[in-house]
């Protein structure tokens, strides 16, 4: 039963048809699917399927990634309000754009996917200082800091990820908090993340959610 919904829902997302995607979910609910099942048996598997498609074939586009995240986040928020018991949270991340960077699209895609995957997201916004990322991660007991940069100088600058790494090292937090980066510069140089001190990088927002979730589970298991 869920396979059909997942297929129909993902087809709608691929066609960037939000109304149709919402209709699929509405039909599922009318047919007796519970809010919990909508999230765990339709939305999350659909995001994972999009992740698999991106991993196998790069021929997806930013509009599809955006819609994947936005529709999933919107439906999840509605469904969560109807859950009979609060869901178990996978973990928590701190997210923001690098200091000097005001571009927020990538961050928004990552956040949309993560929220649907039951990851708590603390969004610091744009133009965030390195100290603020680390302080927030400690205060919120987060497992991951995620930093988005659209421009080369905000990715490689001394006030961005490089400084976050230095602070994590200085405060002996490197085993407790992992650092993930993403954004255009990293797509052009796949080794750049190592040069700015990150543990991982992702080429797109949907894949970033997958990587972040894996890192959360690794930190919690250690």
Which residues sit at the interface with other proteins, rule CB under 8 A? 16, 18, 59, 61-64, 66-67, 70, 100-105, 108, 127, 151-154, 156-157, 184-185, 188-189, 191-192, 195
Cβ at position 68, least distance to other proteins in Å:
11
Strands 200-202, 144-148: pairing kind: unpaired
Cβ at position 95, least distance to other proteins in Å:
14
Nearer of residues 177 and 204 to other proteins, judged by Cβ: 204
Cβ at position 182, least distance to other proteins in Å:
14
Nearest to 172 by CA among 221, 144, 136, 134: 134
Place of tokens 């047919």: 31
Nearest to 95 by CA among 211, 187, 220, 189: 211
Nearer of residues 154 and 207 to other proteins, judged by Cβ: 154
How many CB atoms lie under 10 A from the CB of residue 222?
8
Neighbouring-strand partners of residue 96: 125, 147
How many CB atoms lie under 10 A from the CB of residue 81?
8
Nearer of residues 187 and 220 to other proteins, judged by Cβ: 187
Cβ at position 158, least distance to other proteins in Å:
9
Nearer of residues 45 and 100 to other proteins, judged by Cβ: 100
């Amino acid at each position: 039963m869920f396979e059909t919904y997942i297929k129909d829902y993902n087809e709608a997302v691929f066609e960037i048809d939000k109304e149709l995607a919402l209709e699929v979910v509405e039909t599922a609910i009318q047919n007796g699917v519970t809010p919990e099942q909508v999230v765990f048996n339709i939305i999350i598997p659909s995001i994972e399927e999009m992740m698999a498609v991106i991993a196998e074939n790069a021929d997806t586009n930013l509009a599809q990634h955006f819609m994947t995240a936005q529709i999933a986040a919107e439906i999840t928020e509605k469904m969560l309000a109807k859950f009979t018991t609060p869901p178990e949270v996978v973990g928590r991340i701190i997210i923001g754009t690098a200091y000097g960077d005001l571009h927020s699209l990538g961050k928004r895609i990552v956040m949309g996917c993560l929220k649907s995957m039951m990851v708590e997201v603390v969004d610091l916004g744009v133009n965030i200082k390195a100290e603020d990322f680390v302080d927030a991660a400690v205060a919120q007991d987060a497992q991951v800091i995620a930093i988005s940069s659209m421009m080369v100088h905000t990715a490689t600058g001394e006030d961005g990820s490089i400084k976050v790494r230095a602070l994590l090292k200085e405060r002996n937090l490197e085993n407790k908090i992992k650092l993930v980066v993403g954004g255009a510069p990293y797509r052009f140089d796949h080794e750049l993340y190592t040069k700015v001190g990150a543990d991982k990088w992702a080429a797109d927002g949907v894949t970033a959610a997958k990587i972040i979730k894996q890192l959360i589970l690794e930190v919690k298991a250690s």
